[in-house]
Structures are given as structure tokens and as C-alpha cells.
């Protein structure tokens, strides 16, 4: 299987994760005009499972390092499979709340609040589970990125106050999503053998772990999303019949969004061997500001912002860049 062999490459993979995790929500925005998020989310989950399977049978089954996907599948223990799937269930609960928050309040509030909480909490959880890296630099980097996220949230509040107010429901959904999101990664990391070049009996390779993670997402979606379809957070209930009435473009947007997110997840997991789970997760969750840049530059979510907002956004970018540099230096 393909394995990252040095820290520099791991950092590059984490940056790709950050770009993927900060960009997938654009597919929801592109479909949102004609397509409810509950219906979008089914295709999003299908995209995750498809890409996880493709990567398992390609990059996870070639080369001489580690253990090929099918061989790994045959020897996997029930506890390791359960941990990876539990990570998928927790992620899905968090992410479906985040997608709902995006639908209610937009990317500029859902990502800063939800993923900001997930970043800070998730780095702490993953570092306590596997303390790799300089703790002082690691938490300084997190503090700088959280400062960037808070500045972004403040800029949003200034703009939203002028436009008619902040969505309380959107904020509550974002907070709930962030608290849950901080937990999922540690379970996936715990399911894998720690040194990817030295397979461990019963434990999973990164490719098998992501595959079972995706199965956990898929199975839990029949519960979580079915509930939301019957009792939506906003709007009238939707049916499974409406899903099959969607256009090819509607379905493609969802599948593409899930594939983009899963690519980021896979890169983050691959990088965790060299970077450590805390750094790998923390760098990936810098996606918050990537999403904010999409909102600022492409979706023009700050076009009616009051005077002085641009200074706040510039300060956000400076804190963000310094935070990323500090996280990289922590190893």
C-alpha cells in the first residue's frame, strides 16, 4: 500500500486535507437553489463510500509496504472494525448538524463556530490519546488558529447585525456539530496499527480504517438523515421519492462533495503516521479559514459588511498563517 515516508510530505498532505475540508461545502451551495440539504446529504455519503472503496482497491492494494486491503480485511478484529465504524457514526452525527447549520446560516457562521470548536477540542483529544509533537508549539498554533476563527466569527456578526441579525438556530447547530466533531478522529486513529510499515495483528491499515469509517457513515445515515427528512430543522418534510426526482446535476454535486471530503480524510489519515494524529487533525481543520475565503471571495458573504471589516479579515488571515506555521513546527 502507498505510505508517506517523511514529515515534509505529510505536511503537504495535511494542506491538501485543509483545502478539501474547506471546499466541499461549495457543492452544497451550488445545489442549494433547487435541492434540499437532506437530499443532498444522501449523495454526499455515497461519494464518501465510493472514494473510500476506490482508494482501498488502488493505493491500498499496491506496493510492498504495509498490508494490502483484502488481506487486511480478512485479519481485522471486531474491536478495530467497531472503532473505525464508531468514528464514522460520530462524524456523521456532527457533519449532518454542520450541513444543517450551513443551510440555515451559511458557511461564514457554520464553519468558524462548528469547526473552530472541533479543531481546539479535537487537537486536545488526539494529543492526549497519542502525544506526538511539542505540546507548547502545538497548543500555541491551535490558539492562533482559534483566534483567526473568532475574528472571522466577529466579522460575520458585524455583517449579520447590519443585515438583520445572527441566526440563533444556526449558531446552536454549529456548536453541537463542533463538540461532536472533535471526537470522531481519535476512534479512527485508534483502530489502526501505529506504524504503517509494520502491520499489527487485528489492527487496520489506514485504507481499511477509512473504508469501515465510510460504512459507519452510511449505516448511521439511515437513522440520522431519515429523522431529519421526517422532522426537518427548517422547511417541510421531504420523502425518499423526492430524492429519485433529482436531476443528474443535483446528484453529481452531492457525490462530488462527499468524494472531496473523503479525499481530505484519507490524506489526513495517511499523514498521521509521520505527523501524529493531533498535528494531522489540527492542520486539516484549518479548513475553517479556507471555507471563509470561499465565502468572502466567491460567494461574497461580506459584500455588505460595515466599514472596518476588511481589517478584521486581514488580521484573521495573519493569525491563521502564523498558526499553521506553528503547528508545522510542533513536530
330 contacts 281 by C-beta, under 8 angstroms: no
Largest Cα–Cα separation, the chain: 61
Q: Assess if residue 2 is contained within a domain.
A: no
Q: How many domains does the chain have?
A: 1
Is 155 part of a structural domain of the chain? yes
Tens-digit pLDDT string for the chain (331 aa): 999 999 999 999 999 999 999 898 899 888 877 799 899 999 999 999 999 999 999 999 998 889 999 999 999 999 999 999 999 999 999 988 988 887 777 766 677 778 778 878 888 888 888 888 899 999 998 899 888 878 877 887 777 766 655 567 887 888 899 899 989 999 999 999 989 999 999 999 999 999 999 999 999 999 999 999 999 887 899 999 999 999 999 999 999 999 999 999 999 999 999 999 888 988 887 787 787 778 777 777 677 778 888 899 889 888 888 888 898 889 8
- Let me know if residue 1 belongs to a domain: no
Q: Which three cell numbers stand for residue 193?
A: 496499527
Q: At what angle do helices 37-57 and 206-230 cross, to 10 degrees?
A: 170
In a domain, 104, yes or no: yes
Give the domain extent around 241: 7-329
In terms of Cα–Cα distance, which of 254, 253, 112, 260 is closest to 177?
A: 112
Amino acid at each position: 500500500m502507498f505510505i508517506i515516508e517523511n514529515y515534509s510530505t505529510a505536511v503537504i498532505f495535511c494542506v491538501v486535507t485543509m483545502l478539501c475540508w474547506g471546499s466541499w461545502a461549495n457543492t452544497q451551495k451550488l445545489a442549494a437553489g433547487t435541492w434540499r440539504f437532506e437530499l443532498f446529504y444522501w449523495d454526499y455519503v455515497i461519494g464518501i463510500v465510493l472514494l473510500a472503496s476506490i482508494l482501498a482497491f488502488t493505493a491500498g492494494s499496491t506496493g510492498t509496504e504495509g498490508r494490502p486491503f483484502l488481506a487486511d480485511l480478512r485479519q481485522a478484529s471486531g474491536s478495530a472494525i467497531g472503532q473505525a465504524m464508531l468514528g464514522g457514526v460520530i462524524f456523521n452525527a456532527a457533519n449532518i448538524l454542520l450541513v444543517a447549520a450551513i443551510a440555515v446560516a451559511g458557511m461564514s457562521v457554520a464553519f468558524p463556530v462548528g469547526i473552530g470548536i472541533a479543531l481546539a477540542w479535537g487537537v486536545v483529544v488526539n494529543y492526549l490519546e497519542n502525544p506526538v509533537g511539542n505540546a507548547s508549539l502545538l497548543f500555541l498554533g491551535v490558539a492562533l488558529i482559534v483566534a483567526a476563527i473568532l475574528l472571522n466569527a466577529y466579522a460575520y456578526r458585524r455583517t449579520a447585525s447590519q443585515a438583520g441579525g445572527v441566526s440563533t438556530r444556526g449558531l446552536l447547530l454549529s456548536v453541537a456539530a463542533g463538540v461532536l466533531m472533535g471526537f470522531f478522529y481519535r476512534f479512527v486513529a485508534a483502530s489502526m496499527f501505529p506504524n504503517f510499515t509494520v502491520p499489527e495483528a487485528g489492527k487496520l491499515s489506514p485504507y481499511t480504517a477509512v473504508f469501515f469509517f465510510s460504512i459507519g457513515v452510511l449505516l448511521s445515515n439511515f437513522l440520522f438523515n431519515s429523522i431529519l427528512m421526517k422532522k426537518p430543522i427548517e422547511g417541510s418534510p421531504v420523502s425518499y421519492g423526492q430524492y429519485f426526482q433529482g436531476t443528474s446535476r443535483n446528484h453529481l454535486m452531492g457525490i462530488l462533495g462527499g468524494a472531496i471530503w473523503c479525499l481530505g480524510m484519507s490524506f489526513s489519515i495517511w499523514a498521521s503516521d509521520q505527523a501524529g494524529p493531533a498535528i494531522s487533525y489540527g492542520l486539516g481543520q484549518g479548513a475553517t479559514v479556507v471555507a471563509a475565503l470561499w465565502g468572502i471571495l466567491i460567494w461574497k458573504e461580506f459584500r455588505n459588511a460595515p466599514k472596518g471589516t476588511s481589517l478584521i479579515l486581514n488580521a484573521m488571515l495573519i493569525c491563521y498563517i502564523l498558526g499553521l506555521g506553528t503547528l508545522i513546527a510542533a513536530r
